[in-house]
A and B are shown apart, each in its own frame.
Chain A
Amino acid sequence: MYAGDSEAICPSCGRYIGPRDVCPYCGARVKRRLSVRLLKIAAVILAVVGLLTVRFVAVYIQTPVVKVSEIKPSMNYAHIKMTGIVTRYPSLYSDGSLSFWIDDGTGEIMVKAYRFEAQELLQSGSIPAMGDRVEVEGSIRIREDFQYLVIDLPSKLVIVKPNISGSYSPAEIGLEHLGLKVEVVGTASGVRETSSGGIILYLEDVGGSIQVYIPPILRVLGFNETIMDGVRLKVVGYVSLYQGELEVVPGMPQEIEVLSQVFEYGRVSIAMVNESLVGSIIEVEGEIVEVRTYSSGTLVKLDDGTGTLDVWIPVEIYSEHPKVAMIAPTAKARAKGLLAVYKDKLEIKVSRVEDFQLLEEPAIEITSIASITESDEGRLFMIQAEITDVVQLSAGLKLLVSDGTGTIAVWIWNDLLEQITIADQFKPGVRIRVIGQLVIYKGTLELQPLSPESIEIIG
């Protein structure tokens, strides 16, 4: 050890040099003392032995198991272990990270793996599915209103898959199966892709249906089947509730098995359509004799002279149709889709815009307002009338018009209104000619123009 003050001072120049062996000011050698060497050796021993001891303790120390409800702000960055059931399917983000949620009975927490750890989990296939029991080690991150567990070492994620509780038909699955892993067999219908890349479909059989959600992560894990309406599927998944509706969520690609592909019959006459064709894709042509609009889609009745058949166009297909306004009685159309049974009636379910083609536009009837009735819903009419009132609403412009025989509302949506160059001339007393489709809105008859040219001023 240093013997005294004099040993911290350079013997040649007298300046303070601390524990140095050579004076940094004058370069004079200070006699090397054994005590300094000892101190150096002691420091090295302390560092190395200490580090080995810390490593030994770290290896053998039990990682504490912490419940969600026990997490406190002072635990920020704690290395802990949590166990729970996966309650939300894993999501993969654009930055390469991955997250899922677990519930340990006291609360829910997000588990996150950053890019490299997520990559390792994906490569090893250690991606938990909903309903799996997981034991995960990581460091907890705590924010004012949010907390999550970060997986530091992918090898510390242990996944225990639950057993399949049974095989069921879609209709048999009820609330009692919530939280269980089930096997369900049925025919796919209403297949659509979500904006996030997931697939939503219904598995149907004669007794009923159940929603199935295929999370986007399954694509990353190798699921590459193309699922279309009519395909017969066996799905193993976890039963959960989504917006109050039961759904089955598979966790791995191998949990979705295509049992049989859909059979395509081609074009048939409506008279030939019967229950034996249910589950096949058929194509029919005919005149539209009825159009009914619902919040989830539009039902069109086709008549080809041999009989009539309902065609169901879901709202997302209907709204994208380029000639949506022409889907009206008297028009001729061709519909292609899966034949299904809905409320004991056969119907074709259209699943693509191009599967509903208008072959002939509807006839436009020049008529008096008095002759238009509720039974004409969906048909196109041309009227000539005088504006009696103009009401600007947030979604569009409402014109009340009268032709002497009666009064009717003309509704112009904002997007169409923007294209009508004569819109500023719509004032009471102005006579207009309107071609529009009859729509019933809250029990009131409305004519909705189809294009900017569908409305013109005549005086």
Chain B
Amino acid sequence: MPDFMAYVLFTLLGTLIGSILSLIPSLHVYNVLGILVMFSETIAVHVSLDRIAFMLIGMVVAYGFLNTLSTVYIGAPDDSTIFVVFPSQKYLLVRRGHEAALLVGIGGLAGIAFLVAFSPLAVRIFPPLRQLLSEHLLWILVAITIYMFMTEFPRETDRPRTRKGRLWEAWRSLIMGWIVFGLSGLLGFITFNKPITPFQNAFQNLLPVFIGLFAIPWMLLNIISRVKVPEQYVAESVDVDPVEIFRGASAGCLGGIFAAFFPMVTGGIGAFLAGHATAQRGDRPFLISQGANRVVYYVGSFLLLFVPTLHLTRGGAAWILTTMYQPKTWQEYYTAVAMIALSGGISFIILVYASKLYARLVSRVSYRKLSALGLAAVIVIVLIFTGPAGLLVAMTAAGIGLMANLFHTRRMNLLGCLLLPMILDLSGYTGTLANLLGL
């Protein structure tokens, strides 16, 4: 079979698999990609690994689009959708979940268009930019962290009567944000430097951390709060105008590409910075920007691996693929761009229908039961890949994630699990902290 046709077929296969998997609440496509790594030697005997690379493109693109559904309808976020939850829940509770999903999907489509349009420029921009930034990573990450802290605002609106009370009221959520950042940072530090999970599946070291920080707390709160989702109305049109699409998409693409390129900056941080930089207002541009940000982050970071003069490994999918296969040619790069466009279009169509299905199910099936099912699923995944030690890590992370939720701090502080170890590493203090912790 000619290579191009094979690539098309494997991209479509990946899109299909990714779409199905993305509908399962809290299941991250990277978890499934992990299975590929575990069986890579066997797979390599039967299928050429360059074709697997294109299957991964399909899976990542589909995940970028369709995992939005579980976030919108069940409120199960990952590290890149922590911002989507509130506006989308607002939509959900006024029976407009489908519209919220479509807005996020439109953003995703804009993100794909941006990536395709940007692809010829990326090969010129990123190699020198990488060289330029390599010496400046530390202060940029520190600046991002400080900005995160500085822009956190007190969540409480009540005014206590005493001065002390008011002071505490003002600082409580901020201080808790720092504590959450510190605790998740410590957990990330241990995970990076002396992981307790089985070394045979070390490529999934961060899996229990992320599931614990982001997925489990939301599942738990959903179960506890006994939210009833009203019956959803499946609208045939979307309340949005081109200006809002442009505003939302441009902010999302900006944040997404920053997160895709910059190490340890996830889609959530990218969205946060882009949102602030472009002064986003309104739920519709916000949801669109999050959709664009998410797709550009996931797909863009993976695409960077295909740039022959760059070979930048960013994001879980790229890290997983590099252990098996490294794309090498310009032909592969531009074929990958084409496959991203193909997969993006198909994923959006699947999203429309899958959202309708979700909208029907979510009011009929108990929200609690769905959340409980999701919780059980992620616990099983954690156990399969990382065993009881992974479960311990996930539970610890869940405690930290719950703190962020219950003390009303930004969930972005949970990304301390990546930022703190990276900052320490870049500043040469990894050994100092490791010694302090006795690692």
A24 within 8 A of B: yes
Measured between beta carbons, the chain B residues less than 8 angstroms from A39 are 224, 402, 406
Measured between beta carbons, the chain A residues less than 8 angstroms from B407 are 40
Q: Is the CB of B322 within 8 A of A75?
A: no
A344–B34 alpha-carbon span in the complex (Å): 69
- With beta carbons under 8 angstroms apart, the residue of B194, B228, B398 that contacts A61 is B194
Measured between beta carbons, the chain B residues less than 8 angstroms from A47 are 183, 396, 399-400, 402-403
A55–B188 alpha-carbon span in the complex (Å): 11
- With beta carbons under 8 angstroms apart, the residue of A5, A21, A78, A143 that contacts B202 is A78
Beyond contacts A21-B158, A116-B428: 5 other A-B pairs, Cβ-Cβ < 8 A, are: A19-B405, A47-B402, A79-B194, A119-B428, A144-B326
B329 within 8 A of A: no
A137–B41 alpha-carbon span in the complex (Å): 26
Measured between beta carbons, the chain B residues less than 8 angstroms from A18 are 221, 225
Q: Is the CB of A143 within 8 A of B326?
A: yes
Within A12-36, which residues are at the interface with B (CB < 8 Å)?
Answer: 16, 18-22, 24, 27, 29, 36
| A-B interface contact total, Cβ < 8 Å | 182
A110–B83 alpha-carbon span in the complex (Å): 42
A456 within 8 A of B: no
B127 within 8 A of A: no
- Count, chain A residues at interface, CB 8 A: 62
Q: Is the CB of A145 within 8 A of B326?
A: yes
B200 within 8 A of A: yes
Measured between beta carbons, the chain B residues less than 8 angstroms from A43 are 399-400, 402-403, 406
Q: Is the CB of A50 within 8 A of B203?
A: no
- With beta carbons under 8 angstroms apart, the residue of B41, B156, B196, B403 that contacts A57 is B196
Measured between beta carbons, the chain A residues less than 8 angstroms from B437 are 55, 58-59
- With beta carbons under 8 angstroms apart, the residue of A22, A42, A46 that contacts B157 is A22
Which residue of B is nearest A64, CB measured? B199
A7–B225 alpha-carbon span in the complex (Å): 8
> 26 A-B Cβ contacts within 8 A?
A8-B227, A24-B157, A39-B406, A44-B399, A46-B395, A46-B396, A47-B396, A47-B400, A48-B399, A50-B397, A54-B190, A55-B438, A57-B389, A73-B37, A74-B203, A76-B202, A76-B319, A78-B195, A78-B202, A79-B199, A80-B199, A116-B428, A139-B202, A142-B322, A144-B322, A144-B326
Q: Is the CB of B196 within 8 A of A74?
A: no
Chain A residues with a Cβ under 8 A of chain B: 1-2, 4-5, 7-8, 16, 18-22, 24, 27, 29, 36, 39-40, 42-51, 53-55, 57-59, 61, 63-64, 66, 72-80, 115-117, 119-120, 139-140, 142-145, 152-155
Q: Given the interface contacts A54-B190, A57-B392, A143-B322, does A74 sit within 8 Å of B224 by beta carbon? A: no
Q: Is the CB of B408 within 8 A of A46?
A: no
Contact with A along B219-230 (1 / 0, CB 8 A): 001001111100
A163–B435 alpha-carbon span in the complex (Å): 32
A155–B158 alpha-carbon span in the complex (Å): 52
B278 within 8 A of A: no
Q: Is the CB of A19 within 8 A of B226?
A: no
B323 within 8 A of A: yes
A120–B324 alpha-carbon span in the complex (Å): 33
